[in-house]
Amino acid sequence: MKKVISTNQAPAAIGPYSQAIEVNGMVYTSGIIPVVPETGEIPEGSAAQAKQALTNLSHLLEAAGTGMEKVIKTTVFIKEMDDFGAINEVYATFFEGAFPARSCVEVARLPKDVMLEIEAIAEK
């Protein structure tokens, strides 16, 4: 049975999708963008946006009853591959021990013209 996960501590869905779905002890998030939930603002720069997106992801996982330490796989979509290093530095601070598996791809455009979007799969 699938369960819809949502929180006001992460950006609301801007389309016909759920923030996350839990099924069979696994949590699958939608893409999380670096919008400050309380204000709707988007931080300046790739490092600040990475920090906000990962903070939003962390809050969403907490709402699902799990956390960053339980993330198995992430997919990171970035607007500029030149930002890879700066994003990696921030990304590394959100995980302890073994890092999750990850894909990172450059894309032409992201919602609200943000610099990155991240999705995750975590165990409960």
Please give the residue range of the domain that contains residue 63.
3-123
- Told to judge if 104 belongs to the known catalytic residues of this protein, a careful annotator would answer yes
Show Cβ contacts of residue 116 under 8 Å, excluding neighbours closer than 6 positions. Answer: 33, 34, 46, 49, 50, 53, 76, 77, 78, 79, 83, 87, 110
Confidence check: pLDDT of 97 > 90: no
What stretches of the chain adopt beta strand conformation (E)? Answer: 3-5, 20-23, 26-29, 71-78, 101-106, 116-123
pLDDT (0 to 100) of residue 94? 98
Confidence check: pLDDT of 68 > 90: yes
Task: Phi first, then psi: give them for residue 75, nearest 5 degrees.
Answer: -125, 125
On the 0-12 / 13-18 / 19+ scale of CB atoms within 10 A, 31 is buried
Structure tokens at 10: 């992460």
pLDDT (0 to 100) of residue 14? 84
- Average the pLDDT over 22-29 and give the result: 98
Q: What is the mean pLDDT of the chain?
A: 97
| Domain CATH number, residue 96 | 3.30.1330.40
Q: How many domains does the chain have?
A: 1
pTM listed for this prediction: 0.96
Task: Phi first, then psi: give them for residue 102, nearest 5 degrees.
Answer: -150, 145
Question: 79 pairs with which residues across the strands?
Answer: none
Are β-strands 101-106 and 71-78 bridged in parallel, bridged antiparallel, or unpaired?
Answer: parallel
Confidence check: pLDDT of 99 > 90: yes
Pick the catalytic residue from 63, 104, 110, 121: 104
